[in-house]
Amino acid sequence: MQKLLNYVGGELVSPASGEYFENIDPSIGEPYSMIPDSGIEDVALAVNAAGKAFPSWSRTSPEERYEILMRVSRIIEENLEDLARAECIDNGKPLSLARSVDIPRAVSNFKFYATAAIHFASESHSSAGSSINYTLRQPIGVVGCISPWNLPLYLFTWKISPALAAGNCVVAKPSEVTPMTAFLLSEICIEAGLPAGVLNIVHGTGPNAGAEIVKHPGVKAISFTGGTATGEWIAREAAPKFKKLSLELGGKNPNIIFADCDFDEMLETTVRSSFANQGQICLCGSRIFVERPLIEQFCGEFVERVKGLKIGDPLETGTNVGAVVSEPHMEKVLSYVELAKEEGGTVLTGGKRADVNGRCSNGYFVEPTVIEGLEHDCRTNQEEIFGPVVTIQPFDEEEEVLSYANSVRYGLSSTVWTSDLKRAHRVAENLEAGIVWVNTWMNRDLRTPFGGVKDSGMGREGGFEALRFFTEEKNVCIAY
């Protein structure tokens, strides 16, 4: 079985302990590769390599960094098909999705931050004709990037590329549930000629490898995407050490549908915003609120569409719904369906582990599930499920739906469907969320600030925000 390797100091190396653990293909429920079980020693080696590379990398010109990050982007693009297949096998997502979203986005992340490096500028302030202040934005040093399993290469590169573009050296850890494309990225970085130690990738579990990155005194900033509970732990550990923190955490996003919306467009997008990537996108709208005059039509047509989604082998063309990422995650999602029933919910479609024949008969598939009849404040509607499960609730008034939408601890994204322009602005202003989509979903412009409020995190990624995060400001004041 293939053994993945860490990428440290420009070389592919085994973990210091020599220990590995299994990497499972969720669509067949069997191991297919082995993951380094890295720990304190591996992280120390990686931080050391990054520290050695920092002085020269931080002094490269933005143009030099542009050249090399563009080279990484191009090689990812040249290998799109292989990477998409690897992502599909590792994660369970449909190949078509990995091909059209995950890997193209990894290409864009490197391209975007390669060019951002040469456009990034800082401020200067002229003070009453007597002095001038200018701000230097200098790279921080060695930074840690830790990412989750749902959009593996997509989110991994979303952190790494701005960190490198700003002149930092990186110690990164992908999720141990989906490490394959991060491993392939290390091979790509070697091919692209990224200088040794500029990027180091350490594989392993959160409590071992991940926690050691957070604790290491040589790591000056942490960019983390993952669950809120992990984010809390990282914040507790990093705050007394005054590390810079960017935390992108969980969500429980509302999808608010007013009766005056464009019904067909809303319906088509709502199927995607509910079940794309098996509902395992932090931006999926899992709580659907429908204005009462539309509720009957919506439930009928939405459930029909959902029943038409093809669940199956993620490698096959035409599959809409692949496997969820792991057996424990499947059990968690199904336990929430049971909870919803106990809380008085009615399952309109789905609700069970899905049977898929042939190669995937032991895979972790969950039927796309639609539930109605629950109160907005029950656990099913308050806790993050992060799977192919949505609830539908009717509402009568704008104020009422805003109070339902804002009643959760999270505040990542939200979607609003209406053709009333004034209402769209009003609702957008009053939603407690970092992102509001009106008459669209997951419509991303990489220049915009990305992140959540409340327990969905702190800080913003995207655009120059990420370059600001990955640099330290210094004010220089010159009198004249």
Under the rule (CB under 6 A), what is the footprint of ligand NAD? 146-150, 155, 173, 175-176, 205-207, 210-211, 214, 225-227, 230, 233-234, 248-251, 282, 384, 386, 412, 452, 456-457
Compute the distance between CA of residue 471 and CA of residue 382 in angstroms, rounded to an integer: 36
Comparison of 226 and 351: residue with beta carbon closer to ligand NAD: 226
114 Cβ neighbours under 8 A, 6+ residues apart:
65, 66, 67, 69, 70, 73, 161, 165
Nearer to ligand NAD, 207 or 308 (CB): 207
Q: How far is the CB of 335 from ligand NAD (least distance, A)?
A: 15
Picking from 290, 73, 50, the residue whose alpha carbon sits closest to that of residue 168 is 50
User: CB of residue 386 vs ligand NAD: minimum separation in angstroms?
Assistant: 5
* 261 in Cβ contact with 181 (< 8 Å): no
CA separation for the pair 396, 131 (Å, rounded): 59
Nearer to ligand NAD, 35 or 86 (CB): 35
Choice between 197 and 411, CB closer to ligand NAD? 411
**What b-and-e string marks burial along 234-259, b requiring 16 or more CB atoms within 10 Å of the CB?**
bbeebeeeebbbbbbbbbbbbbbbbb
Q: Which of 335, 395, 342 is closest to 369 using CA atoms? A: 335
Beta carbon of residue 225, minimum distance to ligand NAD (angstroms, whole number): 5
Active site annotation includes 248? yes
Per the document, the length of the chain is 480
Provide the token pair at 75.
Answer: 């090689």
Active-site annotation holder among 189, 282, 284, 360? 282
Which residue reads 């994660």 in tokens? 91
Give me the phi and psi of 389, to 5 degrees please: -135, 125
- Maximum CA pair distance of the chain? 78
DSSP 433: S
Nearer to ligand NAD, 173 or 243 (CB): 173
Instruction: Name the minimum Å distance from CB 276 to ligand NAD.
Output: 13
In whole angstroms, give the CA distance from residue 425 to residue 69.
38
What is the closest distance, in whole angstroms, from the C-beta atom of residue 338 to ligand NAD in the complex?
20
Pairing relation of β-strands 6-8 and 169-173? unpaired
Distance CA 429, CA 402 (A): 11
Residue closer to ligand NAD (CB basis): 316 or 327: 327
Nearer to ligand NAD, 43 or 267 (CB): 43
Say which of 248, 291, 372, 461 is annotated catalytic.
Answer: 248
Among all residues, whose Cβ is closest to ligand NAD? 206
- Residues 6 or more apart from 81 whose CB is under 8 A from it? 99
- Residue 336 Cβ vs ligand NAD, minimum distance, rounded to whole Å: 14
CB of 431 to ligand NAD, least distance (A): 16
Q: Please list the active-site residues.
A: 248, 282
